[in-house]
Amino acid sequence: MPSFQNRQELVNELEYHYFIFLLFSIFGIVEAIQLYHQKQRKELTIYLFLLLPGLVITVYTATQVGLPSIAEELGSWFGWMSQ
Amino acid sequence: MKREPLSFKQTVYLLILFIIGSTIILPVGTEAKQDIWAAVLLAIVMTLPVVLVYARILSLYPERNLLEINEQILGKVVGRFINFLFAFYAFTLCALVLDNFGQFINVTAIPETPLAIPMLILCLLALWATKEGLEVIARSGEVYLPIIVFVATFTFLFLTPNLNINRLQPSLYQNSGGIVSAALHLFSFPFAETVIFTIIIYCTNKTKAMAKVYLAGLLIGGGIILLSVTSVMAVIGPERYQASYFPAYLAVQTINVGDFLQRVEVVVFLIAIFAGFIKISLCFFAACKGLSNALGCKEYRFLTVPLGLLEFLFASNLFNSTKQMAQWASEVYLYFAFPFQVALPMVIWILGEVKRRGRQGSPEVDLHDELR
């Protein structure tokens, strides 16, 4: 995640994270209702099990500044990449 | 699971677009320097036996893809676990390609826009294409490839005045280590990535057709890569090729025909995005299909939205910078991809052959009857 130089950058970052959250929430609700009405309970469980953590991560990444990247994190665990 | 049959032509087109994918924009095989052509040729030769193994696996069990073959050979529990690993590989590869294209669009065209926006758009397109099914992706490929070939041919012709053969010399001079290293990297990216196709396609009753599909795709796609990287190297030279994150874009920027035909880099941009869309869609399709199989579901389409969100989040948080992306590709990817591209397919192939021969030995069991 990038570090922000000014307040405007932070607002932009929050705005598009909010957009992504809203977009996938709407998709998610519509499809979850569809799966519920089709009585596909197993599929619905898997669907929510994957979607909800995704939405939580979206909110989390929007509110955090200067998070390390996944490659950085894995690199520090396994000593992969030369820093 | 519903079958989505593809014609020979559609499958070969998809393979070519998959191989071209992000390879034409990224600096591949930089270790070989001016001998990059030799590295590409060596990589194609190294990939030939591997793709024949992929084709053989699919031919052993006609009408089945790798996911179903794994369940057949390894049993339900182990087979589904291996399928989950393949789904993870497809998911990771999709995120990497998404990140490559996000960075490419961001760096070359819209630097003020947040990186996540082009990535989100590509991700939504891939999500939509996957929801529509493999046939739609294949038909898109049928439309895109002729356009790409036409435009690439003209770009190459316009580039010929800038080609400097001296930049490819000295040829094969004390650089064998660099060539082998570059060939290994080219083997893992993009040639052996075609293992993803074993998840997507399945063999019809003609056992030799699969090998033909793979060989045609590899040789044509490899030929395009060879022509592309060699001409880029001849235009910008090994130093600038190594230093640039997107060398093809840099090479096409040099085109200037009589001061009226300039700035044709938008063409490379379009080609890259067409091919990239196909590669991202296929990887995402394979990830959805693999995960649905690993979780024991008959349909994969319901997974597209949640997996699409996770894919986007994974891709947007994978690297902090283009430099980190390039570093990961050169230092880690080869080792990360090896088990999925070579080790697991080899084990599956050997077990498949053993199991098939064991069954053929016993007169009571007919393999094809059992498969149906």
Q: Express each pLDDT in B278-324 by its tens digit.
A: 999 999 999 999 999 999 998 899 999 999 999 999 998 888 887 88
Is residue B211 predicted with pLDDT exceeding 60? yes
Residue B175 tokens read as 């650089």
Query: Each residue of B7-26: pLDDT tens digit?
Result: 889 999 999 999 998 888 88
Residue B112 at interface with chain A, using a CB cutoff of 8 Å = no
Strand partners, B261: B257
Q: Does residue B293 form part of some domain?
A: yes
Any idea how long chain B is?
372
pLDDT, residue A82, reads 55
Q: Does residue A38 form part of some domain?
A: yes
Residue B320 at interface with chain A, using a CB cutoff of 8 Å = yes
Mean per-residue pLDDT, A56-67: 83
d(CA B63, CA B268): 38
Is residue B363 predicted with pLDDT exceeding 70? no
Q: Does residue B237 form part of some domain?
A: yes
Q: Does residue A44 form part of some domain?
A: yes
Say yes or no for a CB contact (<8 Å) between B319 and A69.
Answer: yes
* CATH number of the structural domain spanning residue B108: 1.20.1740.10
Query: Each residue of B225-262: pLDDT tens digit?
Result: 999 999 999 999 889 998 888 888 888 888 888 878 78
Residue B344 tokens read as 């697991």
Say yes or no for a CB contact (<8 Å) between B120 and A20.
Answer: yes
pLDDT, residue B206, reads 59
pLDDT, residue B95, reads 94
pLDDT exceeding 90 applies to what percent of chain B?
52
Q: Does residue A83 form part of some domain?
A: no
Mean per-residue pLDDT, B69-84: 93
pLDDT, residue B322, reads 78
Query: Each residue of B106-134: pLDDT tens digit?
Result: 888 888 888 888 999 999 999 999 999 99
Distance of residue A78 Cα from the nearest chain B Cα, in angstroms: 11
- Give the relative orientation of helices B66-74 and B344-361 as an angle to the nearest 10 degrees: 60
Residue B329 at interface with chain A, using a CB cutoff of 8 Å = no
Nearest CB to B306; choose among A1, A54, A68? A54
Question: Which residue of chain A has the CA closest to B319?
Answer: A69
For chain B, what is the domain count?
Answer: 1
B300 within 8 A of B118, measured Cβ to Cβ: no
Distance of residue A3 Cα from the nearest chain B Cα, in angstroms: 10
Q: Does residue B1 form part of some domain?
A: no
pLDDT, residue B362, reads 61
Residue A39 at interface with chain B, using a CB cutoff of 8 Å = no
Question: How many other β-carbons are positioned within 10 Å of the β-carbon of residue B21?
Answer: 28
Nearest CB to A71; choose among B312, B316, B328? B328
Mean per-residue pLDDT, B189-209: 82
Any idea how long chain A is?
83
List CB contacts (< 8 A) between B98 and chain A.
none
List CB contacts (< 8 A) between B327 and chain A.
81-82
Say yes or no for a CB contact (<8 Å) between B306 and A51.
Answer: yes
B83 within 8 A of B296, measured Cβ to Cβ: no
Q: Provide the greatest CA pair distance for chain A.
A: 52
Is residue B276 predicted with pLDDT exceeding 70? yes
Say yes or no for a CB contact (<8 Å) between B305 and A58.
Answer: no
List CB contacts (< 8 A) between B324 and chain A.
69, 71-72, 81
Mean per-residue pLDDT, B205-227: 86
Residue B310 at interface with chain A, using a CB cutoff of 8 Å = yes
Is residue B332 predicted with pLDDT exceeding 70? yes
d(CA B283, CA B288): 9
Say yes or no for a CB contact (<8 Å) between A51 and B305.
Answer: yes
Chain mean pLDDT for chain A: 83
More confident residue, A6 or B41: B41
A4: pLDDT confidence band, cut at 50, 70 and 90?
A: low
Q: What is the ipTM of this complex?
A: 0.86
Question: Which one, of B231, B227, B250, B230, lies nearest residue B240 by Cα?
Answer: B250
Range(s) of the domain holding residue A27: 7-78
Q: Is the bond preceding residue B62 a cis peptide, omega within 30 degrees?
A: no
A19: pLDDT confidence band, cut at 50, 70 and 90?
A: confident
Is residue B40 predicted with pLDDT exceeding 60? yes
pLDDT, residue B365, reads 45
Question: Which residue of chain B has the CA closest to A34?
Answer: B302
Is residue A15 predicted with pLDDT exceeding 80? no
Q: Is A83 in a helix, a strand, or coil?
A: coil
pLDDT, residue B367, reads 43
Q: Does residue A1 form part of some domain?
A: no
pLDDT exceeding 70 applies to what percent of chain B?
94
Residue A49 tokens read as 């099990």
Residues 330-369 of B with CB under 8 A from A: 331-332
Residue B295 at interface with chain A, using a CB cutoff of 8 Å = yes
Is residue B325 predicted with pLDDT exceeding 90? no
Query: Each residue of B43-71: pLDDT tens digit?
Result: 999 999 999 999 999 988 888 899 999 99
**Chain pair A-B, CB pairs under 8 angstroms:** 86
List CB contacts (< 8 A) between A72 and chain B.
320, 324
Range(s) of the domain holding residue B100: 8-371
Q: Does residue A46 form part of some domain?
A: yes
List CB contacts (< 8 A) between B331 and chain A.
80-82
Element (H, E) at A12: helix A7-37
Question: Which one, of B268, B286, B265, B288, lies nearest residue B276 by Cα?
Answer: B268
Q: Does residue B351 form part of some domain?
A: yes
Q: Does residue B2 form part of some domain?
A: no
pLDDT, residue B159, reads 87
Mean per-residue pLDDT, A35-58: 92
Element (H, E) at A51: helix A41-63
For chain A, what is the domain count?
Answer: 1
- Per residue, the 3-state secondary structure of chain B, as one string, reads CCCCCCCHHHHHHHHHHHHHCCCCCCCCCHHHHHHHHHHHHHHHHHHHHHHHHHHHHHHHCCCCCHHHHHHHHHCHHHHHHHHHHHHHHHHHHHHHHHHHHHHHHHHHCCCCCCCHHHHHHHHHHHHHHHHHCHHHHHHHHHHHHHHHHHHHHHHHHHHHHHCCHHHHCCCCCCCHHHHHHHHHHHHHCCHHHHHHHHHHCCCCCCHHHHHHHHHHHHHHHHHHHHHHHHHHHHHHHHHHHHHCCCHHHHHHCCCCECCCECCCHHHHHHHHHHHHHHHHHHHHHHHHHHHHHHCCCCCCHHHHHHHHHHHHHHHHCCCCCHHHHHHHHHHCHHHHHHHHHHHHHHHHHHHHHHHHHHHHHCCCCCHHHHHC
d(CA B236, CA B166): 11
